[in-house]
């Protein structure tokens, strides 16, 4: 999408849904550190077996948090503060509630916000938001400060997901669920002290047939074994083994040469791999390969002293 443009996204329930009250929960990834998220409540009623009526729904007014990413560096035992500006970009009055969560990405790089617990990477328990809840008039702005108390024995890097949820001010205190809710926030990276280790390794590279479509899937996993986050950039290659032409009376013994037939650069990952976490690196190569012996190889840069790599031989019958 070009800057300033918009797109309509649709989801269709082919078989329909039974009568009842529902919440449409939408999450759209677009290359940022967190997805764009919104929730809208609606009701499905039915007058007979073949007719259903949907009521409710609506447009989620936009609001923004600045900055979207905070990177801090403090010594152990320090007390830090960071200001966030919340802006209501809609003509409606909204109430915004802040909360601090552990920052967790799954193995595919997706932000996880449900069912998570404090872990060794988190500094969520060190952060207090003041105020935690604000009411914004149309076009209004409000400053919310995050106060961070760093323990004296803390080292390495810690992370937090500072999330803000906006709902209509008219229904914010009601017992019924609000007609809509939008969510945005900021990601916080906190580096403590100077003993930083940037290190990672790659699991085995696996090659799969893509299911009769003539292509191949190449998959490996990068594991962050250091104490700071890394952002991998992986390049996958497929090389065909070329053996010398046979000569009567001469037997060639050796591995031959490798000729590159395909290369796919995944670019930098949209989201970081936190310490102790794993990220799947996957390429779907959609083209058929001629019969022969091949070597698949992946090289991943991640900010360490040297890239990591692994390879796997496979045969195309």
Alpha helices in 80-164 (DSSP H): none
In the predicted structure, residue 299 carries a pLDDT above the cut 80:
yes
CA distance 44 to 17: 8
Residue 18: what pLDDT?
A: 78
Do you know the residue count of the chain? 317
Asked if the bond preceding 48 is cis, omega within 30° of 0, the reply is no
Backbone angles phi, psi at 124, to 5 degrees: -60, -40
CA distance 6 to 241: 48
CA distance 86 to 279: 32
Residues 6+ apart with CB under 8 A from 250: none
Average pLDDT (270-299) is: 94
Residue 60: what pLDDT?
A: 61
Q: 163 or 13: which carries more pLDDT confidence?
A: 163
Average pLDDT (90-102) is: 91
Go through the domains of the chain in sequence order and give each one's CATH number: 59-172+179-192 (2.60.40.10), 200-245+254-316 (2.60.40.10)
Indicate the Cα dihedral angle 279, 284, 289, 291, nearest 10°. 50
Residues 6+ apart with CB under 8 A from 48: none
Residue 53: what pLDDT?
A: 53
Residue 15 CA: distances (Å) to CA of 25, 49, 51, 186 = 19, 13, 13, 38
Q: 235 or 26: which carries more pLDDT confidence?
A: 235
CA distance 119 to 156: 14
Q: Are strands 180-192 and 69-74 parallel, antiparallel or unpaired?
A: parallel
Residue 49: what pLDDT?
A: 47
For the chain, the 3-state helix, strand and coil shares in percent, each to the nearest 5, are: 0, 55, 45
Kindly report, residue by residue over 218-236, the tens digit of the pLDDT: 999 999 999 999 999 999 9
CA distance 131 to 129: 6
Residue 173: what pLDDT?
A: 58
| In the chain, % of residues over pLDDT 70 | 85
Indicate the Cα dihedral angle 205, 208, 210, 214, nearest 10°. 100
In the predicted structure, residue 109 carries a pLDDT above the cut 80:
yes
pTM of the model: 0.80
Kindly report, residue by residue over 152-189, the tens digit of the pLDDT: 999 889 999 999 998 888 765 554 566 778 888 999 99
Residue 214: what pLDDT?
A: 77
> Where does residue 238 rank: exposed (0-12), middle (13-18), buried (19+ CB within 10 A)?
buried
In the predicted structure, residue 210 carries a pLDDT above the cut 60:
yes
CA distance 3 to 14: 33
Mean pLDDT of the chain: 86
Q: 25 or 96: which carries more pLDDT confidence?
A: 96
Average pLDDT (30-35) is: 68
Of 93-107, 119-133, 235-249, 283-297, least confident by mean pLDDT is 235-249
Average pLDDT (230-257) is: 83
In the predicted structure, residue 5 carries a pLDDT above the cut 70:
yes
């Amino acid at each position: 999408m070009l800057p300033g443009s918009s797109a309509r996204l649709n989801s269709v329930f082919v078989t329909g849904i039974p009568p009842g009250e529902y919440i449409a929960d939408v999450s759209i990834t677009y290359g940022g550190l967190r997805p764009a998220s919104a929730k809208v409540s609606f009701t499905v009623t039915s007058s007979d077996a073949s007719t259903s009526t949907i009521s409710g729904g609506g447009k989620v007014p936009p609001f923004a948090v600045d900055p979207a990413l905070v990177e801090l560096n403090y010594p152990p035992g320090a007390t830090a503060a960071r200001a966030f500006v919340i802006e209501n970009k809609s003509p409606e009055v909204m109430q915004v509630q802040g909360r601090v969560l552990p920052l967790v990405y799954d193995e595919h790089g997706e932000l996880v916000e449900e069912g998570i617990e404090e872990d060794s990477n988190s500094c969520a328990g060190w952060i207090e938001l003041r105020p935690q809840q604000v009411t914004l008039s149309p076009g209004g702005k409000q400053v919310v400060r995050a106060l961070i108390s760093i323990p004296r024995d803390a080292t390495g890097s810690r992370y937090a997901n500072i999330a803000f949820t906006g709902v209509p001010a008219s229904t914010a205190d009601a017992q019924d669920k609000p007609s809509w809710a939008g969510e945005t926030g900021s990601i916080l990276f906190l580096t403590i002290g100077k003993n930083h280790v940037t290190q990672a390794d790659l699991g085995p590279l696996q090659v799969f047939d893509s299911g009769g479509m003539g292509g191949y899937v190449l998959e490996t996993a990068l594991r962050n074994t250091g104490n700071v986050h890394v952002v991998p950039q992986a390049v996958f290659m497929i090389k065909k083994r070329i053996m010398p032409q046979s000569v009567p009376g001469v037997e060639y013994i050796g591995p031959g040469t490798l000729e590159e037939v395909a290369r796919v650069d995944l670019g930098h990952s949209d989201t970081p791999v936190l310490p102790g976490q794993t990220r799947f690196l996957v390429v779907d190569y959609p083209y058929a390969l001629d019969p022969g012996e091949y070597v698949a190889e992946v090289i991943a840069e991640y900010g360490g002293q040297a890239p990591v790599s692994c390879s796997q031989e496979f045969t195309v019958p």
